[in-house]
Amino acid sequence: FARELAPGDGLYLPPRFAHHGVSTHMGCLTYSVGFRAPSRSELLESFAAHAARRLAEDDRYTDAGIGPCATAEAGAIDAAAVERLRSLVRVALDAALEDDAFVEQWAGCALTAPKRPAAAASTVLHGGRWHAADGEWPADLLGNQMDERDDGELDGIGGGGIDSAANALDGLDHLSPPYIVQAILGASAEIGCLRRAEGSVFAFVQAETSGGANRLFVDGEEVPVGSDAAQHLQVLCAGGLISAAELRGPLRDSVELQRLVERLLREDFLWVDLEI
């Protein structure tokens, strides 16, 4: 069938539905966005590679007990050797499949693995707001720099409220990860929201599945999460933009979440949008 879309329209096409889009006039652009599910072969390859990292380097195939081949059979791979290989692989895969924690870790890593190279960290003006991953902010936006303070000296605010959070900004580098977290806690109008780095994928394995605490995965890697931060992972994974207002309550509840957000900012998984 043929369908003409008005400006701003979108058309969903189910998987395996062949299509051909054309512009109807010179001032028109069409975009096709695909969501590619992994194939069974890709999942198997990923699982096997992940399982292989569990094994010791000296866990090797041996042929002890297999007698030498007769001259007429030189070069032959006999049934005993094939069965040993089968057993070696089966034992390793069975052990991995029976380990629920391992399967959860593999699933989190596999389903968040980047499908294309990550965007380079940069300072960008986006939608009227500056956001940066590399800390190189425009000089006229930074104002006076505050005295440097080591991250380890900063105590969590917890339920201290806006005044104590605002006071915690004293002595922190302007727009450093600890500064950003404390500015959110203090309801500073300077921080509008946090944004995932372009192309980054966040997901978490729910406690109901794991039988323990929620587990966070970002771009194919598990990110260690403290026990009291684990209950707040949904706020980080729900969308590409995380409003400061939405994040403020969980940050006040969890010092470990404060540390987690600082780490994600420091490692360029999260960027910050400034209200200007």
* Domain extent listing, the chain: 80-133+172-275
161 half-sphere exposure, CB direction, 13 A CA radius: 1
Q: Which helix (H) or strand (E) holds 167?
A: helix 161-168
Can you list the pairs that 91-98 forms with residues at least 24 positions away whose Cβ atoms lie under 8 Å?
A: 92/51, 92/52, 92/54, 92/55, 93/47, 93/48, 93/51, 95/54, 96/47, 96/50, 96/51, 96/54
d(CA 267, CA 216): 15
| Strand, helix or coil for residue 144 | coil
* pTM, to two decimals: 0.65
The per-residue pLDDT for 14 is 82
pLDDT at 68: 67
Please tell me the distance from the alpha carbon of residue 20 to that of residue 137, in angstroms, as a whole number. 43
DSSP state of 103: H
Task: State the pLDDT at residue 46.
Answer: 93
Measured in whole angstroms, the distance separating CA 200 from the mean position of its chain's CA atoms is 6
Q: What is the pLDDT of residue 61?
A: 83
Query: DSSP character for 202?
Result: E
Question: What confidence score (pLDDT) does residue 125 get?
Answer: 34
Which string of DSSP letters, residue by residue, matches 31-68? -----PPPPHHHHHHHHHHHHHTTS-TT-----TTPPP
Beta bridge partners of 191: 274
Local structure of 130: helix, strand or coil:
strand
CA 101 → CA 22, 94, 105, 211, distances in Å?
48, 14, 6, 9
- Domain at 80-133+172-275: CATH code: 3.40.366.30
pLDDT at position 62:
81
Instruction: Give me the amino acid identity at 60.
Output: R
Q: What is the pLDDT of residue 7?
A: 82
Query: For position 260, what pLDDT does the model report?
Result: 94
pLDDT digits (tens, 9 = 90+) for 152-178: 333 333 444 445 544 555 556 667 888
pLDDT tens string, the chain, 276 residues long: the values are 788 888 888 888 887 788 888 888 777 777 777 777 888 999 999 999 999 999 988 888 887 776 666 555 777 778 888 899 999 999 999 999 999 999 999 999 999 988 765 554 443 333 433 344 444 444 333 333 333 333 433 333 344 444 554 455 555 666 788 888 998 998 887 788 898 988 889 999 876 655 667 889 999 999 988 888 888 999 999 888 999 999 999 999 999 999 999 999 999 899 887 654
